[in-house]
Amino acid sequence: MPTIGQLITLAGALAAASAPAHAAEELLAGRVQKVIQQPSGADGCPPPCGPAETLPDGRVRICASNAGGCEAMELKVERDFLGGRAKGSAWHVGKRVGEWGPAFPVTGQPIVVYDDGTRLRWTPAVLRDGQVLVHPERFVSTLQAVQRAWFGDDASGMVPVEQVLPRLRSGN
């Protein structure tokens, strides 16, 4: 299990990368174990902009950013729908915090995470009778810091997560 320092380093490395750092498609159900936030400029979370630059004509180029630092999440896997991750294993992801604030959920409730390698989305879930149920319309992109109400045990309108995968893959 990684230390907090390792998770912070992971968050910074992922946030600093200009291309997506995720190599493979992931569809996981699990429970959040840790969410770590740190400010830009801290170890493992480089500033989003470099220093001001003087151009040959004497003008100065600056960078303005709404980035709010970095965040990392550790998910304890309950189920991997695409194979490859054992139940109970840890999955880690990190990203830069955008202008709307952190996007990773801090909850003990089950969630489902979908990562297609370019876009990370999550939704609350209900685990019932060996199935993982989700509302098909409620996957939240981490690009949108939208808060979702947890469903509790009410599974009305929910479907098994396997039914949602084609829609997620199509980008909807």
For 170, how many CA atoms within 13 A lie in the half-sphere containing its CB? 6
Paired with 33 in beta bridges are none
- Reply yes or no on whether the pLDDT at 20 is more than 60: no
Q: Which of 1-5, 42-46, 76-80 has the highest mean pLDDT?
A: 76-80
- State residue 53's pLDDT score: 94
Residue boundaries of the structural domains of the chain: 4-169
Question: Tens digits of per-residue pLDDT, 119-154?
Answer: 888 888 988 888 899 887 777 665 444 444 555 556
Asked whether residue 7 carries a pLDDT value surpassing 60, the answer given is no
Q: CA-CA distance, 120 to 112, in Å (whole number)?
A: 11
pLDDT band, residue 105 (cuts 50/70/90): confident
pLDDT band per the 50, 70, 90 thresholds, residue 31:
very high
Number of H helices, E strands in the chain: 2, 11
CA 165 to chain centre: 17
What's the pTM value of the predicted model, to 2 decimals? Answer: 0.71
What pLDDT does residue 116 have? 84
Residue position matching structure tokens 């390792």: 6
Please list, residue by residue across 39-64, b when 16 or more beta carbons sit within 10 angstroms of its beta carbon and e when fewer do.
ebeeebbbebeeeeeeeeeeeeeeee
